[in-house]
Amino acid sequence: MSWLIALHAIVLREALRFTRQRGRFIAALVRPLVWLIVFAAGFRAALGLSITPPYETYITYDIYIVPGLCGMIVLFNGMQSSLSLVYDREMGSMRLLLTSPLPRWWLLVCRLIASTVISALQVYTFLGIAAVYGITFPPLGYVAVLPALLIAGLMLGALGLALSSTISQLENFAGVMNFVIFPMFFLSSALYPLWKMAESSELLHDICAVNPFTHAVEMIRFALYAQANLPALGWTLLAGVILLALALWGYDPARGLLRRKG
């Protein structure tokens, strides 16, 4: 029971924090919308040369990019969540949280769940705006995408968590942005299909193919068309488990990086 109380408290805290920071909510939506409305507009006619699953016919670029932008929301939110962990640590509220009698791994998983729920809310808001803009998916896709968003959210949240265990100061977060978020986003299938990457460079294609974010995006893309992409699901789950293990190790005071960093 106390486990659920902890989960409720942590999710509520994150949700309150999120809703009170209206600027953060708007910023989280503006970023993908700029990509959709400004960036994708220029490439409207550029795609449509080859049909790859789950698509069954030619599509415009703005339709292609939407699942990638859903992934972008989840990715940025995972990082934002890790940023707030660093902040919590600096402000001392982390210490308070970790003194709870509940196992540390559970407290960290609660944090992950909280950030994932918020990501899903943001994605649904974004999909609503995209629908108004004229980009819609099959009705079942909007339901099927929820588990995909949760799995992707947990995996990317675990990545943020693992990273945050190595960052001792808030200022270092800019480095995370440059060295983790951007390469992860650009070296994925979020903006271009993998076959398009292979046209320019096989190496780029191979890097994209092993990037767990690519698999998270493909899982979301298929789910939006009410289809399951089992390899993508498998890779996302595997990456999630490894990253979570790393995060838990990182936050273990006996062995983790936290101790060494003081």
Partner 1 sequence: MKLLLPLLLLPCAAMAEEIWVTNEKDNTISVIDVATLSVTRTIETGERPRGITFSHDYSRVYICASDSDTVQVMDPETGQILHNLPSGEDPEQFVLHPDDRHLYIANENDAITTVVDTETRTVIAQIDVGIEPEGMAVSPDGQMVITTSETTNMAHWIDTETRQIIANTLVDARPRHAEFAAHGAELWVSAEIGGTVSVFDTGSKAEKAKIGFAIKGVHPDRIQPVGFEFTDDEQTAFVALGPSNHVAVVNAQTYEVEEYILVGRRVWHMAFNSDKSLLFTTNGVSGDVTVIDVASRKPLKTIKVGRFPWGAALRP
- Which of 207, 226 has the CB closer to partner 1? 226
Judge contact between 126 and 73, C-beta under 8 A: yes
Instruction: Please state, in angstroms and rounded to a whole number, the distance separating the CA atoms of residues 153 and 22.
Output: 21
Residues that bind partner 1 (CB under 8 A): 44-45, 48-49, 51, 56-60
| CB closer to partner 1 out of 60 and 227 | 60
- Between 57 and 99, name the residue whose CB sits nearer to partner 1: 57
Q: Cβ of residue 41: shortest distance to partner 1, in angstroms?
A: 8
Q: Based on CB atoms, which residue is closest to partner 1, 56 or 171?
A: 56
* Closest of 218, 223, 185 to residue 72, by C-alpha: 185
Q: By the 8 A CB rule, do 216 and 76 touch?
A: no
Q: Which residue has the tokens 């407290």?
A: 107
The whole-angstrom separation of Cα 90 and Cα 109 is 20
To partner 1, the closest distance from the beta carbon of 217 in angstroms equals: 22
Quote the least distance from Cβ 31 to partner 1, whole Å: 24
* Minimum separation from the CB atom of position 44 to partner 1 (A): 5
Tokens 């005071």 correspond to 253
